[in-house]
């Protein structure tokens, strides 16, 4: 885990104000009293990221039932999100952060090894190729590793999951088991 990530664990989540790709205001402090999964992704064209967005959309009823709000962040412009991840009509905010300010605030890691690690997993690669999200644009995106932050109702970070490859996020079951 990134040392700057580790220093955030069990501390108040860094507050932020932003705008989602649809132009809606998103303020972390407005979620006080609710549990949040703050998820960081690579670029909006990343097929692994889009597969995860689809997974989050499919799990939304269970998140809602368990009182968990999802906020997604992409290292892309609003236009790129609209062209790729935004086409899925996610029921949660997706924040464009092309300058990677939130990534810095939360200590999200980058590593070219993330691409190599995913390429060495033939089942994940096959699933990605068959997902309908494959494109070549994402090859040039920054090698950001996914990261998920579970933030409690008092806005304290209770768990940090730093992905090891481009498709590695906290399992949905672990998020749903969060009490």
Q: What's the rounded Cα separation, in Å, for the pair 132 and 85? A: 12
Q: Is 8 part of any domain?
A: no
Statement: residue 4 has pLDDT above 60: no
Q: Is 141 part of any domain?
A: yes
Q: Is 110 part of any domain?
A: yes
More confident residue, 91 or 124: 91
pLDDT band at 113 (very low <50, low <70, confident <90, very high): confident
Q: Is 2 part of any domain?
A: no
Could you tell me if 109 and 76 are in contact, meaning their C-beta atoms sit under 8 angstroms apart? no
Q: State the pLDDT at residue 73.
A: 98
Of 59-63, 78-82, 140-144, the poorest mean pLDDT is in 140-144
Q: What's the rounded Cα separation, in Å, for the pair 65 and 67? A: 6
Phi, psi of 122, deg, nearest 5 = -60, -35
Could you tell me if 147 and 40 are in contact, meaning their C-beta atoms sit under 8 angstroms apart? yes
Statement: residue 137 has pLDDT above 90: no
Q: Is 130 part of any domain?
A: yes
Work out the average pLDDT over 87-94: 95
Half-sphere exposure in the Cβ direction for 169 (13 Å, CA): 25
Of 4-8, 45-49, 170-174, the poorest mean pLDDT is in 4-8
Work out the average pLDDT over 143-159: 95
Q: State the pLDDT at residue 65.
A: 96
Q: What is the dihedral of CA 109, 110, 112, 118, to 10 degrees?
A: 60
Statement: residue 64 has pLDDT above 80: yes
Q: State the pLDDT at residue 122.
A: 63
Percent of the chain with pLDDT over 90: 69
Mean per-residue pLDDT over the chain, rounded: 88
From the list 165, 131, 164, 163, the residue with the least C-alpha distance to 147 is 163
Q: State the pLDDT at residue 99.
A: 96
Parent domain of 115: 33-176
Q: Number of folded domains in the chain?
A: 1
Q: Is 96 part of any domain?
A: yes
pLDDT band at 3 (very low <50, low <70, confident <90, very high): low
How far is CA 148 from its chain centroid?
Answer: 6
Residue 98: give its domain's CATH number.
Answer: 3.40.30.10
Q: Is 17 part of any domain?
A: no
Q: Is 155 part of any domain?
A: yes
Work out the average pLDDT over 61-67: 96
Q: State the pLDDT at residue 78.
A: 97
């Amino acid at each position: 885990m990134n040392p700057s990530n580790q220093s955030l664990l069990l501390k108040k989540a860094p507050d932020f104000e932003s705008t989602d790709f649809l132009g809606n205001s998103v303020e972390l402090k407005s979620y006080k009293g609710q549990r949040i999964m703050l998820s960081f992704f690579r670029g909006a064209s990343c097929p692994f990221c889009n597969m995860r967005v689809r997974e989050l959309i499919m799990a939304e009823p269970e998140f809602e039932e368990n009182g968990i709000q999802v906020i997604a962040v992409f290292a892309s412009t609003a236009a790129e999100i609209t062209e790729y991840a935004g086409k899925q009509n996610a029921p949660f905010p997706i924040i464009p952060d092309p300058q990677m300010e939130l990534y810095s605030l939360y200590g999200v890691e980058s590593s070219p090894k993330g691409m190599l690690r995913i390429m060495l997993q033939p089942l994940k690669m096959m699933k990605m190729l068959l997902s309908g999200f494959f494109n070549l644009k994402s090859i040039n995106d920054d090698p950001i590793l996914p990261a998920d932050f579970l933030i409690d109702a008092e806005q304290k970070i209770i768990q940090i999951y730093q992905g090891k490859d481009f498709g590695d996020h906290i399992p949905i079951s672990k998020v749903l088991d969060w009490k």
